[in-house]
Amino acid sequence: MKKLILKKSISLFLLIFTSTIHAELNVHQAFQLPLDLTSQEYQKLIDKNTFNYLDFNLDSETSDLQKILELGKRNLEWLKFINQNKENPNAPDISFSSSETQKGYPIEKPSIYNYQIIMEQYKNLFLSLPTIYKKILIENQTYTKTPPEDIKDYIKNGLAIDHLYQTAARWILLKPYLNYLEENKYNDIRGYYYFKKIHNIENQFQNFRILPIDQQNEIRSNIWLLCLNSKIEKDECEKFINDEISKFNNLSHFYENHFKTFMKFSEGIYNLFFDIPVEVKRNDIKWTSNGSTFLTTVPFQFVEDQAIENFLKKNIEEEWAWKNWNLKLDFEKNADIHIEFEEGTTPHVNGLGGNTIVMDANAPLTEYDVQWTIRHEFGHVLGFPDCYLEFYDDSTKAIIGYQIDTTDLMCSRQGHIKQRHFDELKKIYSIE
């Protein structure tokens, strides 16, 4: 892909950008992990990377976080023990990962974590936990066969422990890669997202001097995020904005001459989280229509196990449907798209627009997370990228992550297919 080379001078950048407004942009996701992995998936990754993180940081920090990992593991083992010993074997299992317990990370309230934040959360959790939890999970007393309290309260406390475990595991896994994650800050589209929601921004720029200080600071910080998308660092961006205000006594000149150009550039980055790249367009998808009814047929390699075929049809065809549009899997022997099962793997596809969906052989097909995952991974087969971002912020020494739209299937486990998926598929695959 072509890369737009940005000079440090803002005025020169604007000149260059104006003449190359349609240059291709590339969102670089360094060492990306889904933001909402399950604890079981974190356990597998930690087990695979034990030597990496121990060798990287043999200090008190690792020791402290290891205690949280042990707490989280015992929490999951206790849950498993309770489910194995329930009085009615046919009763549904208690779960920390049902559709109702999915945790989203909206762009307005991102996940922010580092060692200090995690330990503060652990301290607060320890103070709030009922004594029975401390005895069983920390003092290693024998697991009880039934929840120690009302199931809703048990799930609430269990989830709090589970979320802390996930955060500690994530920090351990990503800490060796902070220098790569820092590069992702240039793809932080929160500034663009902020200004897109403001309808009277021109008026606010004109009256910038008389706005409340908090609002002025909010606008400044989001302009800086726009600058960052163009790889213009904070100090130079702040100097540029200060000069504009000093010279014109407001931000009208900035709005009229620069703002729209910055927004257009950021929009290009934003769209890369949602659009199907032309280069991954599939040639085996058939799009047909009958009046206002649409059907997309996707060839899928025949599977001998009827349970797996039913799993694929139910979850993929059920999710990938919208109003008068349906998607149908056409099982045939020589199709390129296929599914593989590997023990202990993190589910994935072999690249955007890839043909191989890899799922964990140890995960039951009846689990909500497994059902959601196959729907999401199939989206990658169709060409949809992930629409979440995580990066390291050196100023706060913390990792920041968010899902751009928590209602979107490709952003969050809370999400489902939306109008935009249908529109994008029609744009790419319809010959009408």
Task: Kindly list the domain boundaries of the chain, sorted by start residue.
Answer: 10-30+190-272, 39-180, 278-429
Q: Does the pLDDT value for residue 329 go beyond 50?
A: yes
Q: 209-267 pLDDT, tens per residue?
A: 999 999 999 999 999 999 999 999 889 999 999 999 999 999 999 999 999 999 999 99
8 falls in which pLDDT band (50, 70, 90)? very low
Task: State the pLDDT at residue 13.
Answer: 46
Q: Which residues pair with 29 in a beta bridge?
A: none
Distance CA 158, CA 79 (A): 8
- 93, 213 contact by CB (below 8 A): no
- 415, 386 contact by CB (below 8 A): no
Greater confidence (30 vs 36) lies with: 36
Phi then psi for 68, rounded to 5 degrees? -70, -35
DSSP count for the chain of H helices, then E strands: 18, 10
Q: 341 by DSSP, 3-state: which?
A: strand
Distance CA 224, CA 221 (A): 5
Distance CA 406, CA 402 (A): 9
Distance CA 9, CA 6 (A): 8
Answer CATH for 278-429 from 3.40.390.10, 2.120.10.10, 3.20.20.140, 3.20.20.80: 3.40.390.10
Side chain identity, residue 341: F
Sequence-ordered strand ranges (E) for 258-324: 286-290, 293-301, 321-322
Q: Which of 431, 430, 427, 418 is nearest to 320 (CA)?
A: 418
Q: Does the pLDDT value for residue 30 go beyond 80?
A: no
Phi then psi for 145, rounded to 5 degrees? -80, -15
Q: 349-371 pLDDT, tens per residue?
A: 999 999 999 999 998 998 888 99
Show the DSSP H helices in 256-414 as ranges.
Answer: 260-272, 306-312, 318-319, 368-382
Q: Which of 99, 28, 41, 39 is nearest to 409 (CA)?
A: 99
Q: Which residues contact 280 (CB under 8 A, 6 or more apart)?
A: 351, 352, 353, 383
99 falls in which pLDDT band (50, 70, 90)? confident
Task: State the pLDDT at residue 210.
Answer: 94
pTM of the model: 0.88
Task: State the pLDDT at residue 59.
Answer: 64
Average pLDDT over residues 316-320: 96
- Sign, CA torsion 240/180/69/63: negative
